[in-house]
Structure 1
Amino acid sequence: MKVNNEKSLRSFWPARHSTATGWRRPINKRVATTILFVFFIFLALFIVGCFDTYIFRVFSTPAPKKSEFPCTTGNLTQTCPEDYPSIHIPTNPSTVTCPSYFQWIHEDLRPWKETGITSDMIERARPTAHFRLVIVNGKAYVEKYTQSIQTRDKFTLWGILQLLRWYPGRLPDLELMFDCGDRPVVRSSDFQGPNASPPPLFRYCSDHQSLDIVFPDWSFWGWAEINVRPWKNVLKDIKEGNSRTKWKDRVPYAYWKGNPYVDPTRQDLLKCNVSDQNDWNARLYVQDWEQESKQGFKQSNLQDQCTHRYKIYIEGWAWSVSEKYILACDSMTLYVRPRYYDFYIRGMLPLQHYWPIRDDAKCSSLKFSVEWGNNHTQQAQAIGEAASNFIQEDLKMDYVYDYMYHILNEYAKLLKYKPRIPPGAVELCSESMACAVNGVQGKFMRESMVVYPSDTNPCTMPPPYDPSALAEFLNRKDTSIRQVEMWENEYWQKSK
């Protein structure tokens, strides 16, 4: 049996392994072969793993943060660079639902939901537009028509360019007209019936009789003329200012500071200032911007103006940029009944985020509101803090970009044609706009420039309002305002 086994083994292995001392070598070779086989398997897995990791990193991780403003790297011709990512896949996909005021995007675009938007409609928005914006393949092209007030158009375009850097390659092709003026011009009464085709026109505010599409204003990236920094920095400054003085230790009066000469309603407000004859619980100050400019805006720091328990918001010629700065203080905002609205205020509620003030009886209304607040300090403080929290959280810069993204994305879905670059348009990018700008404008552009893409997706759009839910929401606001007016009436009846 042993001989047969040996013959069998010899037939399988070469003669050199048939010695008595060599019987272990075939076993070593088999082990070695097995080890080699396993080694190559691990090597292959390692190579594949490295390749997968490389691909994952290339397409998923954030682009490297650029520590320098691009104009400092020798881009003297202000040409648009090719090194910034044209697309970026976030590693932290967002599942956060957008704040409730995003629902108004659906309402603002509703006039074109059935008909869509044609190139002819857009052309009819041109008479008052300051510029035409076209986005094709993720790049911005602009055709300017008239000069806007101050640098509104410049910083609005700058903000849109930062959006393209925040979400590179995410916006579809689109074309729009933008009016940087104060008051809306597309009257809804001029476009009635199922075949109405109003011109879509973007601007900073609108009212309930107009169809203008609201969009974040230029000051989110800085208001150079009055030295107001970009919003991201202002939010931090005001938050720090809020912490300096506790609410109960603040001056127990209503505070307002601004230019009263832009509209009669503000001049009417000045009648409520303290005098030898009356004290309406208001402390009002005229802001001389020319004099303030000469003094270096030392008395205009927004973080230094959260010193009173109550702050007054009142419109000027139209809606006022000051709204968000006032609401950001922990002070209870006394909100004089407005005519206009911007993109976020429709998500705020009277008695929850602000206290409504009558426009036709400002002084008596202010007097009562301060009396009520000083007698209900916990409730008044809670209203002020709710507004401040709303502004700090729901209006932070990330959500401003998300709002811009969603309204432009929803708007682009309505276009009935493929946008093309107009012959007279020029390509814009951050470098071509900012490299030649010095002074405060250049400083604010450097502060507000997006230097790397967002590593999260935009927040998730809430669905449109159900008609009954919208009616209930609006009724709730009206009921709160009527409640306050009833309290006022009772207060003054008792006083008499």
Structure 2
Amino acid sequence: MTQPRICFLVGALILSCTCVSCSKDKCAVNEHNPNSNTSYDFVPHILHALAIHRPCVIGDPKCLCHVATIQRDLEPYVDKGITPEMMAQSKRLGTFYQIIRGRIYRQQKCLHPKRCADVEDLLLDMASGVADLEFVLNVRDWPQVHFLSGLSGPVFSYSITNRHLDIMYPAWSFWTTTGPILQHYPHGVGRWDWMRKHLVARASELPWSAKRAIGFFRGSRSSPERDSLVRLSQRRPDLVDAQYTILATDADPVEKMPLVEHCQFKYLFNFRGVAASFRLRHILLCRSLVLHVGDQWQEFFYSQLKPWVHYVPVASDADVDELAELILYLREHDDLAEEIAERGQQFIWLHLRMEDVQCYWSKMLQEYAKLLTYKVQREPGLLEVSNKKAVQLYRGK
């Protein structure tokens, strides 16, 4: 989005509503539109979010866009460091790894071998640039170190809440040949470098005016937060098309839909699953407006995605009537919805490249290594992780 267009939007918003934080003299958009069917008032939120937003630097080689997440996650260990006793405590919560003189070793057993292998493919590209260290990698779908658990040892997890002390790493799904079965792609939801281009290409074929002005969701019933939207879809199919692809009941699920086909809808709902959903970064690239439900679960890049700037936040307990009113509001304020959709796509395209993911891994490991209070010694019995790409190339595969 060009700078003049941003200025035009902000100017238009100011003309329609001059207050940013509303109190008794609430400046409601509906006061300027007596025929409005909604009671929402998003303009002050958008104005305030744009006023305080500081965009990341484009092409930043030091991945400073996401460095605040690393600092936050490592902060509990800054004062006293990470001790051998803490590491011993953490070993039972995941897969133990060591990086020594640029070579990677791990314990023989991994709960999800394919997930470990996908992470290792990324680590092999950067291991030579980090100091000797050891860590515990959690490849389960949920974090391990609750702040009330009494555990103090560090564990790397891909998704956490503010009640967990795990250290976030970029999920294995950024570089995988399988992944959750959400669409019919040969590479699942993985191979982020390929999926980025595929989704943006599809989005370019669907200008905003060509998208269907309804909400859309496809997914399993992995959390009850999704039920209200599905019920609304049953009552008002003119507003929402939301259906389950996997159910815990005897009802018949619908067919899965490729992610690129989600791009044909203006309003795409994102819900957490067991933890954070891998879907979010994908649907943002559709240049559709993402309605992100709840704010409990996080991935490493979420903190730089700002509500009202890159997406519209939705309460996790929003009921059927509230969701209907939200979609009606967005229809009445189509320009606002389009602007947010464009900023959301631009953020993911510019600041969540594969080089940003690799930079984050490298920066996180470098800062983590500084906190170890002991010299890492090679532990016997560990398996050395080979450079599978080099072996495949040598064998002509």
Q: Name the TM-score class by shorter chain.
A: 0.7 to 0.9
Where does residue 109 of structure 1 map in the other structure?
74
Q: Map Cα deviations across residues 104-125 of structure 1 (whole Å, 9 max, x no partner).
A: 2111000000001111111111
Residues 142-201 of structure 1: CA deviation (Å, up to 9, x unaligned)? 1143422x722221222222333xxxx31111100011112222122345xxxxx71100
Which residue does the alignment assign to 1:251?
212
Q: How does 1:379-398 map to 2 (within 5 A)?
A: 379-398=336-355
**1:209 corresponds to:** 163
1:215-251 Cα distance to aligned partner (Å, 9 max, x none): 1001111251532340000000001010111112200
3-state SS, counterpart of residue 382 of structure 1: helix
| Cα distance, 1:353 vs structure 2 | 0.6
Aligned counterpart in structure 2 of residue 312 of structure 1, from 240, 244, 269: 269
- Bigger relative CO (Cα 8 Å, ≥ 6 apart): 1
What CA deviation, in whole Å up to 9, does each residue of 1:192-211 have, x standing for no partner? xxxxx711000111111110
Confirm or deny that 1:181 pairs with 2:140.
yes
Query: Is the contact between residue 135 and residue 155 of structure 2 (CA under 8 Å) also seen in structure 1?
Result: yes
CA contact (8 A) 2:214 2:267 kept: yes
Q: Once the two structures are superposed, what CA deviation does each residue of 1:367-396 show, in whole Å capped at 9, x if it has no partner?
A: 222222211111111111111111111001
Deviations 1:468-496 (A, max 9, x none): xxxxxxxxxxxxxxxxxxxxxxxxxxxxx
- What's 1:161 paired with? 124
- The one-character-per-residue Cα deviations of 1:269-293 (angstroms, maximum 9, x if unpaired) are 4222233xx458221132259xxxx
2:331 aligned with 1:331: no
- Computed over aligned residues only, the root mean square deviation of the Cα atoms, in angstroms, reads 2.5
Give the residue type in structure 1 aligned to 2:139: C
- Is residue 307 of structure 2 the alignment partner of residue 350 of structure 1? yes
Indicate conservation of the 8 Å contact 1:258/1:287, yes or no.
yes
What is residue 271 of structure 1 aligned with on the other side? 231
Shift of 1:435: 4.3
Cα deviation for residue 140 of structure 1 reads 0.6
Q: Partners in 1 of 2:322 and 2:380 — Cα distance?
A: 56
The structure having more radius of gyration, on CA atoms, is 1
- Structure holding more helix per residue: 1
Asked if 1:133 corresponds to 2:114, the answer is: no
Tell me, in whole angstroms, the C-alpha distance in 1 between the residues paired with 2:75 and 2:264.
42
Alpha-carbon shift at residue 96 of structure 1 (Å): 4.5
8 Å CA contact 1:357, 1:365 repeated in 2:
no
CA distance in 1 between counterparts of 2:229 and 2:200 reads 28
1:125 is paired with a residue of what secondary structure?
A: helix
TM-score (norm 2): 0.76
Q: Which residue of 2 aligns with 1:400?
A: 357
- State the secondary structure of the residue aligned to 2:234: coil
How far apart, in 1, do the equivalents of 2:239 and 2:120 lie?
42
Cα 1:95–1:209 change in 2 (3 A) is closer
Quote the Cα distance in structure 1 between the aligned partners of 2:382 and 2:365: 19
Do residues 421 (structure 1) and 382 (structure 2) align? no
Structure-1 residue corresponding to 2:114:
151
1:287 aligns with 2:250: no
Does the 8 A contact of 2:86 with 2:153 survive in 1?
Answer: yes
- 8 A Cα contact 1:272 1:280, kept in partner: no
- Identical aligned residues as a percent: 26
Length, aligned pairs only: 323
In the alignment, the residues of structure 2 paired with residue 123 and residue 365 of structure 1 have an alpha-carbon distance, to the nearest angstrom, of 49
Using the size of structure 1 for normalisation, the TM-score is 0.61
The verdict on how the C-alpha distance between 1:170 and 1:199 changes in structure 2, with shifts beyond 3 A counting, is same
Q: Structure 1: which 5+ residue stretches go unaligned?
A: 1-93, 192-196, 290-297, 437-445, 447-496
- After superposition, the C-alpha distances for 1:247-269 in whole angstroms (9 at most, x for unaligned) are 12200011111112x23323454
Question: SS where residue 284 of structure 1 aligns?
Answer: strand
Q: Matches of 1:338 and 1:190 in 2, distance apart?
A: 22
Question: Contact 2:292–2:312 at 8 Å: present in 1 too?
Answer: yes
Equivalents in 2 of 1:256, 1:138: separation in Å? Answer: 44
Q: Which of 320, 328, 340 pairs up with 2:297?
A: 340
2:367 aligned counterpart, secondary structure: helix
Question: Partners of 1:100 and 1:432 in 2: how far apart?
Answer: 30
Structure-1 separation of matches of 2:329 and 2:243: 23
Quote the residue 1:199 is aligned against. Answer: 153
Which amino acid in the other structure matches residue 422 of structure 1? E
Q: Report if the CA contact (8 A) 1:335-1:355 is conserved.
A: yes
The SS at the match of 2:159 is coil
* AA aligned opposite 1:283: D
SS of the equivalent of 2:107 reads strand
1: CA distance between counterparts of 2:83 and 2:105? Answer: 19
Distance 1:346 1:223, change over 3 A: farther
Paired residues of 1:142 and 1:428 also in contact (CA < 8 A)? yes
Contact 2:110 2:116 (8 Å CA) reproduced: no
The residue matched to 1:207 in structure 2 has which SS?
coil
* Contact residue 311 and residue 326 of structure 1 kept, 8 A: yes
Q: What CA distance in whole angstroms lies between the structure 1 residues aligned with 2:86 and 2:273?
A: 31
Cα distance between partner residues in 2 of 1:434 and 1:286: 42
Q: Taking structure 1 as reference, are residues 300 and 418 closer, same or farther at Cα in structure 2, changes over 3 Å only?
A: farther
2:213/2:265 contact within 8 Å kept:
yes
CA contact (8 A) 1:280 1:366 kept: no
CA separation in 2, counterparts of 1:307 and 1:331? Answer: 8
Structure 1 counterpart of 2:195: 234
- Contact 1:328–1:392 (8 Å) recurs in 2: yes
Q: Which amino acid aligns with 2:242?
A: L
TM superposition shift of 1:357? 1.0
